[in-house]
Amino acid sequence: AQTVTQSQPEMSVQEAETVTLSCTYDTSESDYYLFWYKQPPSRQMILVIRQEAYKQQNATENRFSVNFQKAAKSFSLKISDSQLGDAAMYFCAYSIYNFNKFYFGSGTKLNVKP
């Protein structure tokens, strides 16, 4: 069964510093996608970054980057130069290639201190 685990319910970071959110997953599939979504208080789920499992290169999107370790089934999100607007719930998600289902982790609440 596919599961996604986020072991950090809440984290804090100082503005302008770097923070890493952890995510592990369990799957027997070889072809899949991993995602990080951000949910601010407005409730809108916003795609932060996506990683295809067949790609060895880690995805980056401006200040956001991932550390994808396929053998370890680990998919962490690094946020550099943290900004106040980064404060939100962050959900790690997994989907097999045909996207019939998404599996979400329990979320990590990120606080950004000025």
Partner 1 sequence: SAVISQKPSRDICQRGTSLTIQCQVDSQVTMMFWYRQQPGQSLTLIATANQGSEATYESGFVIDKFPISRPNLTFSTLTVSNMSPEDSSIYLCSVQSGRSGNTIYFGEGSWLTVV
Q: In the complex, which residues of this chain contact partner 1 (CB under 8 A)?
A: 33, 35, 37, 42-47, 50, 52, 91, 93, 95, 99-102, 104-107
Contact status, residue 4 vs residue 10, Cβ threshold 8 Å? no
Closest approach, Cβ 29 to partner 1, in A, equals 15
Q: Which residues contact 87 (CB under 8 A, 6 or more apart)?
A: 40, 110, 111, 112
Closest approach, Cβ 99 to partner 1, in A, equals 5
Residue among 1 and 72 whose Cβ is closer to partner 1 = 1
In the three-class reduction of DSSP (H, G, I as helix; E, B as strand; rest coil), residue 63 is classed as coil
Residue among 26 and 81 whose Cβ is closer to partner 1 = 26
Closest approach, Cβ 37 to partner 1, in A, equals 8
DSSP code at position 59: P
The rounded distance, in Å, linking the Cα atoms of 98 and 23 is 22
